[in-house]
Amino acid sequence: MIDLTAAEVAQLTGGRLEAAPDTRVAGPTVIDSRTVAPGSLFVALVGETSDGHDHAAAAVAGGATLVLAGRHVEGVPAVVVDDVPRALGLLAAEHLRRLRAHGDVRVVAVTGSVGKTTTKDLLGQLLSPAGETIMPEASFNNEIGLPLTVLQAGPSTRYLVLEMGASAVGDLTYLTGIAPPDVSIVLAVGNAHLGGFGGIEAVARAKSEIVTGLAPGGVAVLNADDLRVVAMRSLAPGKVVTFGTVRDATLRARNVSNDRLGRVSADLTLGEEAHHVTLNLFGEHHLTNALAAAAAAVELGLPLADVAARLTGAQALSPHRMAVTERPDGVTIIDDSYNANPDSMRAALKALAVMAGRDRRSIAVLGEMLELGKDSRAAHEALGLLVVRLNIKLLVVVGDGASGLADGAIQEGSWGEEVREVPDVAAAAELLAAELREGDVVLVKASNGAGLWRLGDELAATVTAS
């Protein structure tokens, strides 16, 4: 947490001081007035449905000593700036600069079209036994969430794990400007947010900014199984290590296998050293996330043997990401409803097929993948084809925006009762209440904005009498 006077905050942000100059901020930086603590800095953000300035007085009453505001608020000690998110970033950058000058904090940042949050969660579990580790809540990976995470770090912080998301070229340049990484991880270049980027090559350029934005002496950790990612080695200002299943990966997974629940086992090899790992995460795609976290941890000085042991014991931490619930009525729910793009949707559908096998009925409840731009219809149809090719027994398509899924499945040969279209989450819940039976394996997946996470919660909490 920061320790600054109001005058220092004004100087660093170029803001107008509307508080006593010696007013001290020595508590957490918050954006929710309900979470203030004594000495807090309250950041008054203007959102789509709320305005933080309306809650500034309540924040001060709750213990905040200063408000970072975009306009004057009567009776509130504040620093008023033209651009609140930018000012927040300036504070975070200065805070990290001071920590680096007087401590031994190491910054590791992760980006990619899929897997960022899971990799971040794995990194936290690998690094925390070796020193105080700060990492984002949920998916705090943008121009607001990243500075808030940086500002949580203190003099005793050893590792600062950051998730960096991008919706356009330039986003990661901005984020690495706030927190230049000592270790940068690139997981994958995929078809996420294509509506904002305009094409896959622009996605690659955007992700590469986490490599070019490394701190002096920093290390790029790249996925050798993704050709667009491994090509970023030419942009790295220094050392590059790779991870993957291909022969020339620095950290390689060999003898890869999956159990009936889709959990991956592999031998992690680094030179002549090898250690066996069995993940507690569901879906073979998590091997990429595990290898990335392991490679970064080794670069930060952890022995591979310790890394392998901790990976085997690691758990899924964030909700709605391949969260598997075995209900007492014999129904298995796979809730992967936090977000979706074509790559993560394919991975989840393959995991569903593996977990259901030949003797259980597989059901995919899918909603719209958002922000795909002009490619949206074709991307949904292609996944509808994949549903049929994977022999998923029932496809439930939720919402008009996802209708291409149904069209693709029908074109590939599904008809009648194999594909159901429903208008919303409530209708999907009603259909499943009548449809589900013992032994079914149900995947729930869509972009977060489609709201299927509510269905995931309901299905995981529901017990149907058998």
Residue 111 lies in a domain: yes
Answer for the pair 295, 243: CB distance below 8 angstroms, yes or no.
yes
Lowest mean pLDDT among 55-59, 103-107, 322-326: 322-326
Q: For residue range 327-377, what is the model confidence (pLDDT) as tens digits?
A: 999 999 999 998 888 988 998 999 999 999 999 999 999 999 998 888 899
Q: Same domain, yes or no, for 291 and 388?
A: no
Alpha carbon of residue 209 to chain centroid: 18
Q: Same domain, yes or no, for 118 and 137?
A: yes
Q: Same domain, yes or no, for 127 and 52?
A: no
72's CB contacts (< 8 A; 6+ apart) are: 18, 78, 80
pLDDT at residue 139 greater than cutoff 50: yes
Alpha carbon of residue 431 to chain centroid: 31
- Which CATH number does the domain housing residue 327 bear? 3.90.190.20
Note down the domain range covering 36: 4-82
Residue 207 lies in a domain: yes
Q: Same domain, yes or no, for 175 and 249?
A: yes
Domain boundary among 55, 82, 109: 82
Q: Same domain, yes or no, for 307 and 335?
A: no
Q: Same domain, yes or no, for 239 and 370?
A: no
Domain boundary among 313, 331, 360: 313
CA distance 120 to 109: 8
Residue 466 lies in a domain: no
Q: Same domain, yes or no, for 73 and 91?
A: no
Residue 154 lies in a domain: yes
The two tokens of residue 150 are: 């940086």
CA distance 57 to 69: 12
Number of folded domains that form the chain: 3
Residue 179 lies in a domain: yes
Q: Same domain, yes or no, for 49 and 108?
A: no
Return left, alpha or beta for 153; rule: phi > 0 is left, psi -120 to 50 is alpha, else beta.
beta
CA distance 40 to 58: 12
- Which CATH number does the domain housing residue 263 bear? 3.40.1190.10
Q: Same domain, yes or no, for 168 and 250?
A: yes
More confident residue, 161 or 263: 161
CA distance 343 to 444: 15
State the pLDDT at residue 200. 85
Residue 277 lies in a domain: yes
State the pLDDT at residue 464. 40
Q: Same domain, yes or no, for 200 and 251?
A: yes
State the pLDDT at residue 466. 33
Residue 318 lies in a domain: no
Q: Same domain, yes or no, for 295 and 216?
A: yes
Instruction: Please give the mean pLDDT across all residues of the chain.
Output: 93
Q: Same domain, yes or no, for 277 and 134?
A: yes
Domain boundary among 33, 50, 82: 82
Residue 426 lies in a domain: yes
